[in-house]
Structure 1
């Protein structure tokens, strides 16, 4: 029997990379496949990712990128934390790939986390909360035809997905096991408590064993609290 895992990551080679997280997230699907595991990677729809999906066979692309299948939209959100979004499905080198195409959050110049001047995007908390909310919906079975046995979140940008699965699972969805992996402890996603209402989590989530962290919100901490294994 094949085990199905949703790997939730903010970057993965060869589509987008700023550090070692991308190397690991990109290599995992092929590494676990011989062990009876089908791993689907879900990524934010950054410009580089959407460009690769729309033109997967451009000359000069790395060989693995030439193995990208043509994408198709499989789900849509009228309001993903207040913005329209869709879920795009494809394959890369034979492994399932999902992309959260939310232009208001991810279609912008600069890098995945910083603007062209190297400054953190002021709304990173909202961008990756939205990505996490979408990933939680997918992992929890809200998308027709997508069922998973395990959600695997990588670093703070994906950690809130596990909190959403714990405190606000998709309606009619299934509860699944979860794993949290820390690639870089230096970045934890710590924000002010005043942002909590915008996360669309129930009041009980703002607690010591939830998303609360030193009086504020801790994205990584929330994932660690919600995960079944670290």
Structure 2
């Protein structure tokens, strides 16, 4: 089966969040189960230079005034074929893939990702660039949402799967963009790509794709409710038979405590003592007091309301007063960034806050912390809690989405033993006081070294690889192709 995997970001070339990690790891896992895959990505600034010998395949007339060059190379560190859309006026810019350096969204994002979506469809019909054509196109999030629409516009034989990584980000734009993007006027309606008077990339993906996938079984159910559906719950209920939730995995070669190049020492489930050395090195690096038995809480996250990290600020004082340490890496809402920076000033040597994105530091926090804090109000899948499991850094999570599917809570038995299925602690509800109680429970277990080692061992023995997920995707693809 030939598969075109279309994404707006991919690790290690360009990353703003979990989509990049998924895009970097899932195609490799799918290749290992026998698929013939090409990946399609815009050539943002600096990407060509990171790739080995990009070869010009030719060009495509995407819109009447936009002709893009298409280059073929491989994803660094792999043999995966990577196609890059080279159009400097749209992609060769300072800033991130979606936002300019001042944090606002690029005003021409509809055109930038309209081009990505349309190129994917153009590569799925006979073209002058290559004889390879996909049987199936796997689209990811709103940035690729118009691809299933263009596939139908071109009468392509290729089927489409549209993956929802986060329904909160929808790509809704002024209706006038539909002319610029050559979308049919008659499809600008509820039974089409229209969403409350806007052109919606997400709506197009949800409406026109042959099958819908999301990144955890629980999230697939949640998005059919008013609380988590963000206005799409009716359409998702209507398409429930076409919707499947497949839990993400992680790249267990990139995230491996036994070989991680970003760590000063290595450890594994049968030899956990070196984890203490990683913790000590992290404390020194970030200017924390080198206290070995102080529970070290870790956060690697966007600092937003969705992630529930305002709740941590509310309840962290009693934990710090009791001797805990806290390390935070992330960026997001300016007010929340400032609150965490203020916390660091209030507790010098006990709280370390790094604003921004730092991949090596994220590895050291995931490995060096004792407890990973992830109280998200909603979480389609989440990957950091799986990194925590892999590194024996016990996750404390909310009972939602992929957190509920990947972290198994439990309570201590009368005999003082933990359940053999327990891998972390799960909040009963999303409330600051519940977060405090759950973290105190984790710290209580931490104080009992025998129980803590049992919990770490059970967490590290969880299968968080992509192999199981890849088999589920292969099954989904076969079902789509058989219809």
For normalisation by structure 2, the TM-score amounts to 0.42
The reply to whether residue 134 of structure 1 matches residue 116 of structure 2 is no
- Residue 60 of structure 1 is matched in structure 2 by none
The reply to whether residue 209 of structure 1 matches residue 209 of structure 2 is no
Secondary structure of the corresponding residue to residue 211 of structure 2:
coil
Instruction: Please show how residues 1-230 of structure 1 align to structure 2 within 5 Å.
Output: 3-53=1-51, 56=52, 70-78=53-61, 80=63, 82-92=65-75, 93-142=78-127, 143-166=129-152, 168-169=153-154, 174-230=156-212
By relative contact order (CA 8 Å, sep 6+), the higher-ranking structure is 1
Q: Distance in 2 between matches of 1:6 and 1:17?
A: 20
Q: Cα RMSD between the aligned structures?
A: 1.5
Decide whether aligned partners of structure 1 residues 117 and 81 sit closer, same or farther in structure 2, where only a CA change above 3 A counts: farther
Q: Distance in 2 between matches of 1:141 and 1:95?
A: 22
Q: Distance in 2 between matches of 1:78 and 1:137?
A: 9
Higher strand share: 1
Counterpart contact for 1:8–1:41, Cα < 8 Å: yes
Counterpart contact for 2:95–2:101, Cα < 8 Å: yes
Q: Distance in 2 between matches of 1:94 and 1:79?
A: 28
Q: Distance in 1 between matches of 2:22 and 2:12?
A: 11
Counterpart contact for 2:162–2:205, Cα < 8 Å: yes
Which stretch of structure 1 is more off in the superposition, 142-151 or 96-105? 142-151
Counterpart contact for 2:56–2:72, Cα < 8 Å: yes
Q: Distance in 2 between matches of 1:162 and 1:75?
A: 23
* Structure 1 stretches lacking a partner, 5+ long: 57-69
Task: Kindly state the Cα deviation for residue 85 of structure 1 after the two structures are TM-superposed.
Answer: 1.1
Counterpart contact for 2:63–2:181, Cα < 8 Å: no
Task: Kindly state the Cα deviation for residue 79 of structure 1 after the two structures are TM-superposed.
Answer: 5.0
Q: Distance in 2 between matches of 1:141 and 1:29?
A: 23
Deviations 1:165-187 (A, max 9, x none): 12x21xxx742110000111111
Task: Kindly state the Cα deviation for residue 188 of structure 1 after the two structures are TM-superposed.
Answer: 0.3
| Number of residue pairs the alignment of both structures matches | 209
Q: Distance in 1 between matches of 2:61 and 2:157?
A: 24
Secondary structure of the corresponding residue to residue 163 of structure 1:
helix
Q: Distance in 2 between matches of 1:144 and 1:79?
A: 16
Secondary structure of the corresponding residue to residue 193 of structure 1:
coil
Counterpart contact for 1:12–1:22, Cα < 8 Å: yes
Secondary structure of the corresponding residue to residue 139 of structure 1:
coil
Task: Kindly state the Cα deviation for residue 100 of structure 1 after the two structures are TM-superposed.
Answer: 0.6
Deviations 1:143-186 (A, max 9, x none): 431211100000000111111112x21xxx74211000011111
Q: Distance in 2 between matches of 1:118 and 1:124?
A: 14
Larger Rg: 2
Task: Kindly state the Cα deviation for residue 81 of structure 1 after the two structures are TM-superposed.
Answer: 5.7
Runs of 4+ deviating beyond 4 Å: none
Q: Distance in 1 between matches of 2:109 and 2:64?
A: 13
Higher helix share: 2
Secondary structure of the corresponding residue to residue 146 of structure 2:
helix
